[in-house]
Amino acid sequence: MSGLNRFDGTRALVTGAASGIGRATVQRLAAEGAQIFAVDLDAAGLASLEGMHTRVVDVSSETEVVDAVAAAAQVLGGLDVLVNVAGIHRTTPIDSLRVEDLTRLFEVNTVGPAIFCREALRHLPDHTGVIVNVTSSSAAHGNPYMSAYSASKGALLSFSLALAAEVVHRGIRVVPVSPGTVATPLVAGVSSDLDMSYYSRIRSFMGAADPEQIAGTIAFAASPDAAYLTGAEIRVDGGSHV
């Protein structure tokens, strides 16, 4: 861990906190002094987080999202930081793409984070409030068999940039962070008999990122060290697309 204390007194709501990037993020922020309200659909994963407030939430349910943000603000006494990590991944070749695939990916990867932002902005303080939305390098780079996933993450990226412009007058920062390949259960759970040779050509020489490496970037983006950063994507892909 960093040994820094950039988040002393900071109240943070983090989605997708039970595993992968989300889990690494709550651990990093807590290590730097933040009070955490962690949400995820995985009750068992949340139960293993010690010293944090947790809540099982389906991010595709508007009612559950609204209730979760209200609960976080009440339990923590307010909110300073929102980090949207929760997401799902599916390979969707165009010849077998279903409306259900598009709908589900957008519900979880775009609509859920957008509603979290809407609700959190009722509590985030002017001049110091921060939103970090985890998008993907796929949001701006074409990857085969990921048209639906890429579209959902591209929509979140565009949403984040537009939202940053909308709330800049309040001094609230919105920063999209776009990881490349990360060694998480989300990626490990994607199996396919498709020709994936394209991905060997864009694989980073640094290998897949550890969740902690992405969490470090998220922590920077949410911290006072990034006080002049808003409305700009941070791509963390080990140089895959240079």
Measured N-to-C along each axis, helices 147-167 and 99-106 cross at an angle, to the nearest 10 degrees, of: 30
Map tokens 């709908």 to a residue. Answer: 103
For the annotated catalytic residues, the residue numbers are 149
CA distance 56 to 113: 15
Check: CB of residue 227 under 8 Å from CB of residue 10: no
Q: What angle do CA 218, 222, 228 make, to 5 degrees?
A: 115
H helix count then E strand count, the chain: 9, 7
Per-residue b/e over 88-125, b at no fewer than 16 CB within 10 Å? Answer: bbbbbeeeeeeeebbebbbbbbbbbbbbbbebbbebbe
Residue given tokens 């609204």 in the structure block: 66
Helix axes 112-120, 147-167, angle to 10 degrees: 20
Q: Provide the token pair at 15.
A: 């989605």
